[in-house]
C-alpha cells in the first residue's frame, strides 16, 4: 500500500532538512493505517521498529512515497516493511529510508489477542 506526504517548512530541523521524528511518526501512522485496512476489526498497537538509521537528508518540498508491505504475520502480531522514496527532488528509485515495524493485536483488556481473520 502506498501513502504520500509533502515535506513542509514546519517539518524542518535547524540544519535545513526533515526532522527525523516526523519521518518516524509518518511511518508509524501509515503502517498502522495499512494494518487496519488489511486486518479490519483488530486493535493494533506499535511494539517496535527495526534499525532506525538516517542516511540521506530530505529536503523541503519533497513529496515522500511510503511503500508499506506486510512481511510477516503471526498469531497476535503483524510486521510491515516501510520503504520511503522521494517523488519530486530525490532520484525516484533511491530508497531514502527503510525500516520494519511490528504491531500486536490487543483485546479489550489490553492483553495480546489472536488477529481476527478476514472472511472472503
Q: What is the pLDDT of residue 93?
A: 81
Instruction: Let me know if residue 51 belongs to a domain.
Output: yes
So what's the pLDDT on residue 61? 97
Over 60: is that where the pLDDT of 120 sits? no
Give the residue carrying C-alpha cell 533511491: 94
Q: For all residues of the chain together, what is the average pLDDT? A: 95
pTM of the model: 0.93
Report the percentage of the chain scoring pLDDT > 70. 98
Between the CA of residue 11 and those of 5, 32, 111, what are the distances in Å?
11, 21, 35
**Assigned domain for 110 exists:** no
Query: Is residue 3 scored above 90 in pLDDT?
Result: yes
| C-beta neighbour count of 78 within 10 angstroms | 22
Q: What is the CATH number of the domain that holds 34?
A: 3.10.129.10
Q: In what order do the strands lie in the sheet with 95-105?
A: 2-6, 63-73, 77-86, 95-105, 44-49
| 26 lies in some domain | yes
pLDDT band at 91 (very low <50, low <70, confident <90, very high): confident
- Number of compact structural domains in the chain: 1
Domain contains 116: no
SS3 label, residue 45: strand
Tens of pLDDT, residue by residue over 27-56, are 999 999 999 999 999 999 999 999 898 889
On whether the CB atoms of residues 8 and 63 are closer than 8 A, the answer is: no
Give the range of the structural domain holding residue 57, as residue numbers without chain letter. 2-105
Rounded alpha-carbon distances, angstroms, from residue 52 to 73, 74, 82, 117:
21, 23, 12, 31
Burial group, residue 98, by CB count within 10 angstroms (0-12, 13-18, 19+): middle
pLDDT at site 119 = 61
Any domain includes 42: yes
| Residue 92, pLDDT score | 76
Amino acid at each position: 500500500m502506498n501513502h504520500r506526504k509533502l515535506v513542509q517548512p514546519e517539518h524542518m530541523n535547524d540544519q535545513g532538512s526533515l526532522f527525523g521524528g516526523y519521518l518516524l511518526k509518518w511511518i508509524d501512522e501509515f503502517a498502522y493505517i495499512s494494518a487496519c485496512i488489511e486486518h479490519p476489526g483488530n486493535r493494533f498497537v506499535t511494539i517496535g521498529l527495526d534499525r532506525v538509521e538516517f542516511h540521506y537528508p530530505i529536503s523541503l518540498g519533497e513529496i515522500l512515497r511510503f511503500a508499506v508491505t506486510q512481511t510477516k504475520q503471526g498469531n497476535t502480531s503483524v510486521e510491515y516493511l516501510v520503504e520511503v522514496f522521494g517523488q519530486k527532488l530525490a532520484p525516484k528509485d533511491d530508497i531514502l529510508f527503510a525500516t520494519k515495524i511490528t504491531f500486536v493485536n490487543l483485546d479489550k483488556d489490553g492483553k495480546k489477542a489472536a488477529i481476527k481473520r478476514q472472511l472472503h
